[in-house]
Structure 1
Amino acid sequence: MRDRDRTREVLLEVGRKVFLEKGYNAAGLEAVLRTAGVPKGSFYYYFGSKEEFGLAVVDSFVRDSSEQLEATLSERGLPPMVRLRRYFDASAERFEAGRCRSGCLIGKLSQEMAEQSEAFRTRLSEALDAWTDRLAACLREAQEGGELRADLDARALAELLADGWQGALLRAKTLQSPRPLRSFVDLMFGPILRPPD
């Protein structure tokens, strides 16, 4: 990787951490630049504005999250519902490993920025839709294999999973405990998404 590309990636990584901790509006560029060890003039070589930087941070987060999702959901040696549960279990473990503070950047910025910036609202909505589409594809695969009732709308179930997870994350951050995430996973993959009778 060239030095120029490496500097951009460092800025995006630091931006992700700062946005997760403080949110977009409270995140000063000075703090990002100081942490990244990048002079202010260099920042504008990579990004034309704070908003452009913020959207690039979202894109970077979505790319990395999508890779994690795909790596788990494409393990063909496991049944679809096992893969799906593993994905949510691993997400809960990452949250707990981060001392119950990190959460999901998409959820955090959706709460803060959806009403403030149409560019952010659109980008965040696209990210949530793509995530939900991938969950729905795995649920359809489970239906085809007889693991899940075929009369249920896979897309609606995927939305329930995605929306419920974001709510559980919010509650978990408030409690500083992974308990809401564990309860969500146990209920969803226990009595709610149980195999057909």
Structure 2
Amino acid sequence: MTRIETRQSLIKVGTDVIGSPGFNPTGLNTVLKTAGVPKGSFYYYFASKEDFGLAIIDEFAIAYNEKIDSFLSDTKVSPLQRIRNYLQNGLETISEGQCKRGCLIGTLGQELSSQNETFRVRLDQVFEGWKQQFGLCIQAAIDCGELSEDTDIEQLSEFLLSGWQGAILRAKMHSSISPLQAFIDTTFDRVLITR
């Protein structure tokens, strides 16, 4: 493998491996062994474990931004249906994983935000980007008359992002999708009420 391919392999393996135990408990040896990379060569690819963690966050964010965009920008369905489709897909994905894994960014945020300012800032930037994507979809719902013109886009976007992340955490704790379903049902029965 080339240097770039090996680096990408380490990032992919790191993303997979740290999803369950977290960043701090994951040893570099585990990542290197799983990726088939010699033990002593990690620092050829990354300056530090922190640099490795930031690369994982960035790669995951790029891929996940595309996923969110594919749902929230889907003009074949109404804006509110786009949000529902995104949330329903998330519920199905977490269910397929037996509620053992949640959102990597959320997991890392809970673990690292109070320990490392660099991680906190980067993770918050990712969340803010997702919140903006919700905001654009909410604006589209206002523009097409699904939601009232006086809808507070900022507040509703924050509610969707924070509420969904909380539901993911609760689903992991309960080993059940019921918190996710409750969030979806309440959001569409009580919050995103069409005009």
For the superposition of Structure 1 and Structure 2, which TM-score range results when normalised by the shorter chain? over 0.9
Partner of 1:168: 167
What letter matches 1:94 in structure 2?
T
1:120 equivalent to 2:143? Answer: no
**How many percent identity over aligned positions?**
44
* 1:17 Cα deviation from its structure 2 partner: 1.6
Aligned partner of 1:192 in structure 2 is: 191
Is residue 76 of structure 1 aligned with residue 67 of structure 2?
Answer: no
3-state SS, counterpart of residue 21 of structure 1: coil
Look up the SS of the partner of 1:76 in the other structure.
coil
SS of residue paired to 1:61? helix
State how far apart, in whole Å, the 1-side matches of 2:127 and 2:84 are: 18
What SS class does the counterpart of residue 20 from structure 2 fall into?
helix
Alpha-carbon deviations, 1:22-61, whole Å to 9, x = none? 1111010011111111112332111011000001001111
Q: Secondary structure at the match of 2:19?
A: helix
- Paired amino acid for 2:152: D
Amino acid at match of 1:184: F
Counterpart amino acid of 1:126? Q
Instruction: Report the count of equivalent residues.
Output: 195
Q: Output the CA distance in 2 between the equivalents of 1:87 and 1:147.
A: 17
| Alpha-carbon distance in structure 2 between the residues aligned to 1:114 and 1:71 | 28
CA distance in 1, matches of 2:180, 2:6: 35
The yes-or-no answer on 1:9 pairing with 2:21 is no
TM-score, normalised to structure 2's length? 0.96
1:85 aligns with: 84
Cα separation, 1, equivalents of 2:3 and 2:84: 39
Letter in 1 for 2:132: D
TM-score, normalised by the number of residues in structure 1: 0.95
Measured after TM superposition, the shift of residue 152 of structure 1 is 1.6
Deviation at 1:155, TM superposition (A): 1.3
**How far apart in 2 are the matches of 1:39 and 1:113?**
27
Q: Which amino acid aligns with 1:101?
A: K
**Amino acid of the structure 1 residue aligned with 2:60:** F
Counterparts of residues 87-166 of structure 1 (less than 5 Å): 87-166=86-165
Residues 52-108 of structure 1 deviation map (CA, whole Å, 9 limit, x = unaligned): 000100111111110101111121111111111101111111111111111011111
CA RMSD of aligned residues (A): 1.1
Q: 1:165 Cα deviation (Å)?
A: 0.6
Runs of 4+ in structure 1 deviating by more than 6 angstroms, as ranges, are none
